[in-house]
Amino acid sequence: MAYEFVKVDRDGPITTVTLNRPEVMNALHSPSHFELEHVFNDFAADPDQWVAIITGAGERAFSAGNDLKAQAAGLRMANPGTGFAGITTRYDLTKPLIAAVNGVAMGGGFEIALACDLIIASENAVFALPEPRVGLAALAGGLHRLPRQIGLKRAMGMILTGRRVSAAEGKELGFVNEVVVPGELMAAANRWAKLICELSPMSIRASKQTVMNGLDEPSLQAALSGQNAYPAVAAMYRSADFKEGPIAFSEKRAPNWTGV
């Protein structure tokens, strides 16, 4: 499918999704949200695609978030059921997402990154939830994900001031995994994606679902007792990969993962 506001590239099991509105710093409006929902529906359903990288077109921005000019002009600002950029309320996605953040990640742009499993940032990346400056609030997940990821007081220090945080500080706070020079951003993101692809995709999906679901349980005991009922865990036990791993280990060879 041809997209107007998004670019999609596939390299083996890795899908790269580029937010493609550089003229507005990759800010998103309703048509781009629905395109992205379609992109991630396809990614989720494709058994040959194991990891996705999300980045922004151009050198200035990952995403400036909500397209306020489009909103001010009266454009209907509807989001799909899967949320901002088609991912912020996509709770059932067990495949890993990597945010490759180039430049500005503000408001909804930061919320997209927070919805990913890893954040790789260029040195010029800047993060913030500045919605209160324009009479809004970060209701696409930022107000909930940021405290869960870096702790309440650190998160409130960003949320209640709307202040900008550099890539280096983001790594110190704990929401950035790696900081690289701008020219090495996509190489670094692909390096992480390829490391993930060395492992069984069935095990990766089971691991992600167990972590995410377990965080919502009231206790460690509840998390442990319920994990075998998770769909991705059950699928791992039934998979060819579950048999292939021990066989490859005993035969002293690299496993041939199929993701089924």
Pure H helices in 46-184: 68-72, 108-114, 142-150, 152-159, 167-173
Q: Which of the residues 35, 111, 123, 178 is marked catalytic?
A: 111
- Average pLDDT over the chain, rounded to an integer: 96
Q: Taking residues 127-156, report their average pLDDT.
A: 96
Cα gap 87→37, rounded to integer Å: 7
Q: Taking residues 79-98, report their average pLDDT.
A: 96
Whether 111 sits among the annotated catalytic residues: the reply is yes
User: For the segment 162-202, what is each residue's pLDDT rounded down to a tens digit?
Assistant: 999 999 999 999 999 999 999 999 999 999 999 999 999 99
Cα gap 113→233, rounded to integer Å: 26
Cα gap 81→37, rounded to integer Å: 9
- For residue 195, CA distances in Å to 50, 100, 199, 260 come to 12, 15, 7, 19
pTM of the model: 0.96
Question: Residue 73: which pLDDT band, with cuts at 50, 70 and 90?
Answer: confident
Tell me, which fold does domain 6-197 have in CATH? 2-enoyl-CoA Hydratase; Chain A, domain 1 (3.90.226)
Q: Which of the residues 23, 123, 131, 198 is marked catalytic?
A: 131
Whether 169 sits among the annotated catalytic residues: the reply is no
Is pLDDT at 88 greater than 90 in this prediction?
Answer: yes
Q: Give me the pLDDT at residue 183, please.
A: 95
Which residues have C-beta within 8 Å of that of residue 137, sequence separation ≥ 6? Answer: 131, 143
Q: Give me the pLDDT at residue 69, please.
A: 83
Strands in 126-128's sheet, in edge-to-edge order, are 61-63, 104-106, 126-128, 165-166
Residue 155 burial (CB count, 10 A): 21
Would you list the domain boundaries of the chain?
Answer: 6-197, 201-250
CB 108 within 8 A of CB 146: no
